[in-house]
Chains A and B, each alone.
Chain A
């Protein structure tokens, strides 16, 4: 048990022994009282009488001695009962404290703890109750945390599904209205639809089956980064002027989950489309450093604000992925300029 015990090193005293001890103490004090009262009572009264010059006759003396005996016995009995009940009551009041504590815990006040008193079976009971309450509190906190994590995961994955779905709808709409598309355009369109549909399916699989990473080993991760940067450019070049810098991205081997990286870039693309100012250039740089892979995107913030919730969910999604690589995300936002730095360490 982790709770503090009242007597760390000693043996637990039995409650019955404590009660017997109380009985013995009450009895001893009662016997002392009786001896005092019966042996000295009469003598004291006689001393008082002598001092005040009163001489009682034989009848009075007999009465005095009888009174002393009777009163001694009555007082001793009353004294014993009172002392025993008070000391016993104090020990057993702890049971009431334990009951009140258990009632508080059963009402859901799991932070409540029983005071630890004495060193008997009741103390062990109180310690056990405290231990169970602490365990229950920890379990509830863990359940709450898992539930919040799950909800957060569902929110971010739902948000991540929207990006490929929006691209799919956009391209479908484009080709629906296009007159006589060429064979090449049709082939590109079908490839894009196939890729986006696969992305949606993989994200749905995570939602249904839980997160399963599929790391792939790349001899040259630079090629993958170049491909993702090109997809970033392709998605944004119509609306924004772009500066992509891959000079710091040297050739390096790495184990990466392509879908997760795609989700990072999809979220970056979505945030630029929603919040970036088209009048200013959008900069993307990918570097390989001692920290790992560092992806940095900067843009000016458009004056119109189209809702905070999507922005936060997208960044939360990026953060979760970065943390799964042992890395993190740093945001710089002064209201005019936005910068996000994603570090992937364990690659």
Chain B
């Protein structure tokens, strides 16, 4: 019978798996529409993990609290860059790189 600890472990591992899955498909898929979908998933994950990291570290760890704001801001900046890019492939690549870095940092900030 699964208790709340097991569920917590499962949720946490699921987040890590989803993060890596999104990152892999964000860069290795060729379909442009699919790339956009996983881009938005990456942004959502980055913001969510930043929130988790903030809730964990707020009031306790100043650096981690600041880092959570930075990662959330970077994710939103990547989203704005993607909106502004309007089909420009180079700008979209930059947005993807920024969102990926934000997601990885947010994940590490949340678990470390």
User: Are the CB atoms of B111 and A44 closer together than 8 Å?
Assistant: yes
User: Are the CB atoms of B24 and A64 closer together than 8 Å?
Assistant: no
User: Are the CB atoms of A75 and B5 closer together than 8 Å?
Assistant: no
List B contacts of A41 (CB < 8 A): 9, 12-13, 16
Measured as residues with beta carbon below 8 angstroms from the partner, the interface class of chain B is 20 to 34
CB-defined interface of B82-112 with A at 8 Å, one 1/0 digit per residue? 0000000000000000000000000000011
Known: A44-B12, A64-B9, A71-B9. A33 touches B17 (CB 8 A): yes
Q: For the complex, what is the distance from the CA of A333 to the CA of B21, rounded to whole Å? A: 76
Chain B binder among A82-90, A188-196, A213-221: A82-90
Known: A40-B111, A45-B8, A83-B21. A68 touches B13 (CB 8 A): yes
User: Are the CB atoms of B5 and A60 closer together than 8 Å?
Assistant: yes
Question: A37 in the interface, Cβ–Cβ < 8 Å?
Answer: yes
> Pick the contact of A82 from B5, B14, B21 — CB < 8 Å?
B21
Known: A71-B9, A71-B13, A117-B30. A79 touches B21 (CB 8 A): yes
Q: For the complex, what is the distance from the CA of A40 to the CA of B20, rounded to whole Å? A: 14
List A contacts of B13 (CB < 8 A): 37, 41, 68, 71-72, 75
Q: For the complex, what is the distance from the CA of A64 to the CA of B31, rounded to whole Å? A: 40
Question: A51 in the interface, Cβ–Cβ < 8 Å?
Answer: yes
With a 10 A CB-CB cut-off, give which of A44, A56, A64 has the most chain B CB atoms: A44
CB-defined interface of B1-45 with A at 8 Å, one 1/0 digit per residue? 000011011101110110011011100111100100000000000
Q: For the complex, what is the distance from the CA of A31 to the CA of B8, rounded to whole Å? A: 22
Q: Nearest chain-A residue to B16 (Cβ)? A: A36
Report the tally of A-B residue pairs with Cβ distances under 8 A.
Answer: 77
Q: For the complex, what is the distance from the CA of A43 to the CA of B16, rounded to whole Å? A: 14
Question: B70 in the interface, Cβ–Cβ < 8 Å?
Answer: no
Q: For the complex, what is the distance from the CA of A41 to the CA of B12, rounded to whole Å? A: 8
User: Are the CB atoms of B25 and A83 closer together than 8 Å?
Assistant: yes
Question: B81 in the interface, Cβ–Cβ < 8 Å?
Answer: no
Q: For the complex, what is the distance from the CA of A47 to the CA of B111, rounded to whole Å? A: 8
Q: For the complex, what is the distance from the CA of A334 to the CA of B9, rounded to whole Å? A: 93
Q: For the complex, what is the distance from the CA of A185 to the CA of B102, rounded to whole Å? A: 111
Q: For the complex, what is the distance from the CA of A25 to the CA of B23, rounded to whole Å? A: 12
Q: For the complex, what is the distance from the CA of A37 to the CA of B8, rounded to whole Å? A: 13
Q: For the complex, what is the distance from the CA of A75 to the CA of B21, rounded to whole Å? A: 11
Chain B proximity of A65: nearest CB distance (Å): 10
User: Are the CB atoms of B30 and A90 closer together than 8 Å?
Assistant: yes
User: Are the CB atoms of B24 and A83 closer together than 8 Å?
Assistant: yes
Residues of chain A from 106 to 123 with CB closer than 8 A to chain B in the complex: 117-118
> Pick the contact of A79 from B5, B17, B31 — CB < 8 Å?
B17
CB-defined interface of A39-77 with B at 8 Å, one 1/0 digit per residue? 011011101110100001000100110011001100110
CB-defined interface of A5-24 with B at 8 Å, one 1/0 digit per residue? 00000000000000000100
List B contacts of A44 (CB < 8 A): 12, 111
User: Are the CB atoms of B29 and A87 closer together than 8 Å?
Assistant: yes
Q: For the complex, what is the distance from the CA of A56 to the CA of B25, rounded to whole Å? A: 38
Chain B proximity of A26: nearest CB distance (Å): 8
User: Are the CB atoms of A90 and B31 closer together than 8 Å?
Assistant: yes
Question: A132 in the interface, Cβ–Cβ < 8 Å?
Answer: no
Question: A252 in the interface, Cβ–Cβ < 8 Å?
Answer: no
Question: B67 in the interface, Cβ–Cβ < 8 Å?
Answer: no
List B contacts of A86 (CB < 8 A): 25, 29
Q: Nearest chain-B residue to A83 (Cβ)? A: B24
Q: Which residues of B contact A (CB under 8 A)?
A: 5-6, 8-10, 12-14, 16-17, 20-21, 23-25, 28-31, 34, 56, 111-112
A-B residue pairs, 6 tightest by C-beta: A44-B111, A29-B24, A33-B20, A75-B17, A36-B16, A37-B13
Q: What are 30 pairs between A and B in contact, CB < 8 Å? A: A25-B24, A29-B20, A29-B23, A29-B24, A36-B20, A37-B17, A43-B111, A45-B5, A45-B12, A48-B12, A48-B56, A64-B5, A67-B6, A67-B9, A68-B9, A68-B13, A72-B13, A75-B14, A75-B17, A78-B17, A79-B17, A79-B21, A82-B21, A87-B29, A90-B29, A90-B30, A90-B31, A90-B34, A117-B30, A118-B30
